[in-house]
Amino acid sequence: MADDVKRRASAHAGPTTTGAHASGGARDPFLLACRRVPTEYTPIWLMRQVGRYLPEYRAIRERLSLLDLCKTPEAAAEVTVLPVDRFKVDAAIIFADILLVAEPLGVGLEFAKGEGPVIQAPLRTPSDVERLPEVDPDEAVPFVFEAIRLARRALGGRVPLIGFAGAPFTLASYLIEGGPSQAFLRTKRVMHTEPRTWQALMEKLSRLAIRYLNGQIAAGAQAVQLFDSWVGCLSPADYRHNVLPYMRGVIAAIEGGVPVIHFGTNTAGLLELMREAGGDVIGLDWRVDLGQAWRRLGDGVAVQGNLDPAVLLADLEAIRRAARAVLASAGGRPGHIFNLGHGVLPGTPWQHVAGLVEMVREESRR
């Protein structure tokens, strides 16, 4: 399969193209929707649209671990393109993981079977934070940038390519907790009892996110998404004081004029603050009504979402009803990008993903 992506890349080879203004950009439905420009239909892509529900992906994972796949640009580019070939989604997102930049920080990273990511040397003291190096993504994760270049060529301008990074708070929580958490007690303790340590960590991770995202844009990403997956654990006051200034700084420093998608989960109580932090598109999870959330956010921003991923485990008629409800909540306003409220679940039948893409196109064209 890696040979296939090389073949397609060669077929589309030509002058090097980077950024949002390269071929396949300005009139694309996804990029138009990011800018709140009317489109023929509601564009759709799905978070985690490459995953174990796809038989082609499972075949690759039989011979490559997740980290090995991420670090093999030809394979990462190949799986990036899979959903475009199979489902005709309106955007591809580079295959990577938000914690790839944690490994060069010297904290150790592994993906334990059934447990998800594990940080082997989590941050426990102020000196742990002080010892974190300043990471140059060009040297630390060059395979991500090469995968973007290969994927752009293989896509051949059919759809835009999205790059992404973990937001500073979510990266900080992984580094402090040592992995996923329910209550984020260690993270909140640092935030409340060691403010200087928290500030130092967030500033360091913000600089890393800026360099990483701008490197992806230079390599060819035509939009970027910041995943703040765990920020919904915070109160509005904690978000305003301990997260918003750093997110605002990261988003303001993103170069190339590409659209920025700002996404979090469990963020119904934080939407206005997320809008204040910035982003051309605010990603919504399924725990909030899309239309009501958009009214709270105001007219000057697009929205992305927000079907419950569990709906894709139901039958096709139930999926159609739920998709119609999301589209009806958007009300046909320019600036809606259809997506799930989080990633595709592992047990999802791939036929249901195909059906959803067709349904959204069909229903939104009416």
174 is in an annotated binding site: yes
pLDDT at 115: 64
| Residue range 281-335, pLDDT digits in tens | 999 999 999 999 999 999 999 999 999 999 999 999 999 999 999 999 999 999 9
Q: Label residue 153 by pLDDT band (50, 70, 90).
A: very high
248 is in an annotated binding site: no
Rounded to whole angstroms, how far apart are CA atoms 198 and 126?
A: 9
| Residue range 163-175, pLDDT digits in tens | 999 999 999 999 9
| SS3 assignment, position 332 | coil
49 is in an annotated binding site: yes
> Which whole number is the average pLDDT over 14-22?
36
Q: Label residue 24 by pLDDT band (50, 70, 90).
A: very low
Quote the distance between the C-alpha of residue 262 and its chain's center.
9
Residue 269 has pLDDT above 80, yes or no: yes
- For the chain, give the percent of residues with pLDDT over 70: 92
Q: Label residue 13 by pLDDT band (50, 70, 90).
A: very low
229 is in an annotated binding site: yes
| SS3 assignment, position 310 | helix
- Sign of the CA dihedral running 90, 95, 97, 102: negative
Catalytic one of 41, 61, 85, 136: 61
Active site residue 174: yes
84 is in an annotated binding site: no
pLDDT at 267: 97
7 is in an annotated binding site: no
Which uninterrupted H or E stretch holds 156? none
| Residue range 51-69, pLDDT digits in tens | 999 999 999 999 999 999 9
Count Cβ atoms below 10 Å from residue 356 Cβ, excluding itself: 26
| SS3 assignment, position 40 | coil
Residue 14 has pLDDT above 80, yes or no: no
Which uninterrupted H or E stretch holds 260? strand 260-264
All domains of the chain in start order, with CATH: 2-365 (3.20.20.210)
Long-range pairs for 128-133: beta carbons < 8 A, 24 or more residues apart: 129/197, 129/200, 129/201, 129/204, 130/200, 131/106, 132/105, 132/106, 132/107, 132/201, 132/204, 133/104, 133/105, 133/106
- Sign of the CA dihedral running 211, 217, 219, 225: positive
Residue 87 has pLDDT above 60, yes or no: yes
| Residue range 216-266, pLDDT digits in tens | 999 999 999 999 999 999 999 999 999 999 999 999 999 999 999 999 999
Catalytic one of 41, 52, 85, 158: 52
pLDDT at 257: 96
48 is in an annotated binding site: yes
Catalytic one of 4, 41, 48, 296: 48
Catalytic one of 97, 228, 280, 308: 97
**Average pLDDT taken over every residue of the chain:** 92
> Which whole number is the average pLDDT over 195-214?
98
Catalytic one of 57, 174, 212, 239: 174
Rounded to whole angstroms, how far apart are CA atoms 120 and 110?
A: 7
In this prediction the pTM is 0.92
97 is in an annotated binding site: yes
pLDDT at 27: 82
pLDDT at 366: 80
Active site residue 4: no
Q: Label residue 113 by pLDDT band (50, 70, 90).
A: confident
Active site residue 152: no
Residue 23 has pLDDT above 50, yes or no: no
Active site residue 61: yes
12 is in an annotated binding site: no
